[in-house]
Structure 1
């Protein structure tokens, strides 16, 4: 994938999507930058001859189909899909309303499902393509206060891992991107919604968590522009990774999770291995 490619990027109006769109354009690719408010996308990415800005709401299949049709109408193909759009419902599980929990899954799981479903026929016809999906370290390591978000990202991981062998025969690859903490807009009010306080048992821990996160916002160590440039580089390689740990903290999280899983497998090895039917005498 060293030649000029056509990229379709969701959530390109702010945050990581803007950096990815700019990096792809700077590398000589054409970009279909999408978002719910096209004017914001155009202002964020800037003018470029190889840029098409299209309205797209990942939770609206009709909007998705229209955006894919516009992309193919302008450029004739789609080579790289970047499922980037997402949001964050934070809070302790008991305080996240059922409606907000479902809304989290709707955007972060069914959003990329909708877009990928619309793009795959184009890539299958081409017999080539790359589906890049932004996950998170919360997609393989759970922690308190992020149960809805982690559930959505764990689901994305299982979906993409299962989709990969299904579409590989058509020359289509996948890549999960799992960022650690980057200086994006994820922790801003535009992206993060906090559960309403309803249970005294959680009140103090909620206050401490929100205070800590507000202090972290804008101070995260990761540079999203560097992530975007690295992503464009990996997308152009002969063998894009199935999973990419983005950031030194993400690498550490990978290692910690892998070691924990190995320890858990070994902890009850004898009991776990004794559950088969006894051989008939």
Structure 2
């Protein structure tokens, strides 16, 4: 890289955002780290990079994606710090576990506010300066849920699918102004979001879906242990994505994401449904009909929300 370009990374206080901000800083980028908890997040970033408190190449910006005023203030702070950012990376988000019947509507609303509505507002605020500059890249961090809707994570799958359709649409709109869009389909990485602590859990373990949860939880934890990679490996993939000059790119970062994208392209929808059911140990079609589980009342989940990114 011949010049110090600027990048805004949301959710930069932990997980993939923290690893990416540190990696790009070390590569010479001017990094604007957007997060809810700036003091704690910047302390982690400085410890990871060795940057001093007065380093102009590492700036912290307060951002709560569920608060329109915070989004507007963050966009203004970004432009005051770096002018028109070269790149905007939408990384921040929350995860959730639970069946559609179990997850309350309030969780769906919070999921879309954090993963879609807030990022859209931030993009709208920064696009005028990026258009005027005539260059740049917007990166959307997606996941397996954006490729294929996954059982027990419907709200999360829904927002990742929406994120990808938004990115595809926007790519055609901003390409004539020299701005490209990249969708990164991430695999499994060893961050808080794959743990109980980093996930909003609305599962009802003794409800009608108890049999689903018992098998899926066991298999899921085993799969996570085998597949989870270090966040720094994602950061390297993001750095490569930022060098693209194509108007639109959709690519995987991680072997499990790559395999899923290939399978989804080759297999028909019914085939992917069956493959997913077998991998997760979900009972076959009609297996629970007429059982006590089928006649149980609606689940009454006890929700405690948490966020992976600050």
Shared fold (TM-score greater than 0.5)?
Answer: yes
* Contact 1:35 1:55 (8 Å CA) reproduced: yes
Unaligned runs of 5+ in 1: 265-281
Q: 1:249 aligns with which of 251, 256, 262?
A: 256
C-alpha distance in structure 1 between counterparts of 2:101 and 2:2, whole Å: 49
More contact order relative to length (CA 8 Å, sep ≥ 6): 2
Aligned to 2:200: 193
Equivalences for residues 58-73 of structure 1 within 5 A: 58-73=65-80
Q: Name the residue aligned to 1:268.
A: none
Equivalent residue number for residue 289 of structure 2: none
Q: Describe the superposition over 1:34-55 as per-residue Cα deviations: whole angstroms up to 9, x where unpaired.
A: 1111012112211342100111
User: Could you tell me whether the CA contact under 8 Å between 2:227 and 2:256 is conserved in 1?
Assistant: no
Select 1:111's aligned residue among 107, 110, 118. 118
| Match in the other structure for 1:270 | none
- Structure 1 residue 56 displacement after superposition: 0.4
> Across the two proteins, how many residue pairs are aligned to each other?
264
Q: CA RMSD in A?
A: 2.2
TM-score (norm 1): 0.87
| Structure 1 outlier segments of 4+, above 6 Å | none
Other-structure match for 1:11? 11
Instruction: Report the Cα distance in structure 1 between the residues aligned to 2:215 and 2:196, rounded to whole angstroms.
Output: 17
In terms of mean alpha carbon deviation, does 202-211 or 55-64 score higher? 202-211
Q: Unpaired segments of 5 or more residues in structure 2?
A: 272-310
Q: Which residue of 1 aligns with 2:295?
A: none
Deviates more, 1:41-50 or 1:137-146: 41-50
The match for 1:38 is 38
Q: How does 1:218-257 map to 2 (within 5 A)?
A: 220-239=227-246, 242-257=249-264
Question: 1:128 and 1:173 mapped to 2: Cα distance?
Answer: 8
SS at match of 1:244: strand
Match of 2:102 in 1: 95
Residue range with higher mean Cα deviation, 116-125 or 239-248: 239-248
Please give the alpha-carbon distance, in whole angstroms, between the structure 1 residues aligned to 2:225 and 2:125.
35
